[in-house]
Structures are given as structure tokens and as C-alpha cells.
Amino acid sequence: MKFPTFKERIIAILGGLLAPFSRDHGVLTVSSHMRSLILKAVAAAASAGAIVSCATSISDTSSSISLDRSACYGRCPVYRFTLYSDGRYVWEGRAHVSVKGTIRGWMGGGAYPAAKQLLGDARYLEFKDSYQSDSECEILETDNSTVTIIVADSLHPKTIAHYRGCRGFARQEALMQLEENLDKVFRTHRFTG
């Protein structure tokens, strides 16, 4: 005998909840007890994956800011932290960090606007896409890491790749301060140790 899956049971419960509704002058009415049951069933269905989308705009779900630090000759932390506009984050610890692997979590609604404010204050769109070669750098030292900031939104997408051995370019201090400030907003120290 085949037993229904959890998702199938939730869908059946939702279908069964429609029966007690009454029509009053063409308007569907529901008691407060029934409304409570419906909300619980919808929440359970959403967590079971029976409901796969909700009313959010595309920009809300697809906008993100990532800070990626690559390896260097030494013990530089190697990771990527991505913060989404809805407050979700993904940590990918690769090397020389206290938390290796992928961690998903939620930072709350204020972190993304704070990061966007930092980017705006730093005039991030004015930075070059790359600070990695002789053409961008007055001095180019070896064995440093690269810090990449990736802003993925439909209005102002931007990627800034900064090899930390690249020195002497315009607004160098502003870019390095932006990298450090994003680390603070993202609270990456929780994972780097």
C-alpha cells in the first residue's frame, strides 16, 4: 500500500479546507478558527515545498552583493559571502577560515540596504572593473589575494576585481575601505575566526 507523501497530505488538507466556506451575498466568508487553520496549512505547505513561489518582485529575489576573497601566498582567508536583498545570505568558506563549506542563513532586512548604502557612498559605479595589471597599477606586487565585489541587480550591476598587490591607482584607499566595510556589514568575522 502506497502512503501519501507529506506534500500530498498538505495539498489534500488545503483542498479539504475549502469545503466549510460559505457564500454570503456572493462573498466567501471564513470563521476566525478556519482562517487560523488555513494559515497554518499554507505555512506547512510552503515549508514542504508545495507552494513554490510568492508575490515578490523579480528584483527582490535576484538582487545580491557578493564579496569574494581569493588565495594568496600565505594564510589569507579564502571565501565568498553573498547577501541577497531579502536578507538571506550564503557563506562559502574555502581555506584559512574557521567555518569551511557552505552555510545559508538570514541577516534580517537591514543588512542589504546598509551594504547598498556603503556602495553608493563609495560611488562604486565609478570604480574600474579591474585593478589587476600594469595598466591599472602604479606598483604591482606578487603573492597577494584578489578581492572581488559583485553587485548583481538589474539597475546597476557591477563587478570590481581588485588584486591587493595593485597599488598606486586613483581611489585605492576608497576601494580598500569599501572592501573592509562590506566585511563589517556582512559580519564575516563570524566565519573567518
For the segment 149-178, what is each residue's pLDDT rounded down to a tens digit?
999 999 999 999 999 999 999 999 999 999
pLDDT digits (tens, 9 = 90+) for 179-189: 999 999 999 99
Mean pLDDT, the chain, as a whole number? 81
Q: What is the pLDDT of residues 1-54, one digit of tens each?
A: 555 555 555 555 545 544 444 444 444 445 555 555 555 654 554 444 444 333
CATH class of 58-192: alpha beta
Q: Tell me, what's the pLDDT at 62? A: 74
Average the pLDDT over 110-132 and give the result: 97
Which residue in this structure is represented by grid cell 541577516? 107
Q: Render 8-76 in DSSP notation, one character per residue.
A: HHHHHHHHHHTTT-EEETTEEE--HHHHHHHHHHHHHHHHHTS----S--HHHHH-EEEEEE---SS--
Beta bridge partners of 144: none
pLDDT at 171: 96
Virtual torsion, Cα 13, 19, 23, 26, nearest 10 deg: 70
Amino acid identity, position 90: V
pLDDT exceeds cutoff 90 at 74: yes
- Where do the structural domains in the chain lie, given as residue ranges? 6-48, 58-192
Q: Is the pLDDT of residue 87 over 90?
A: yes
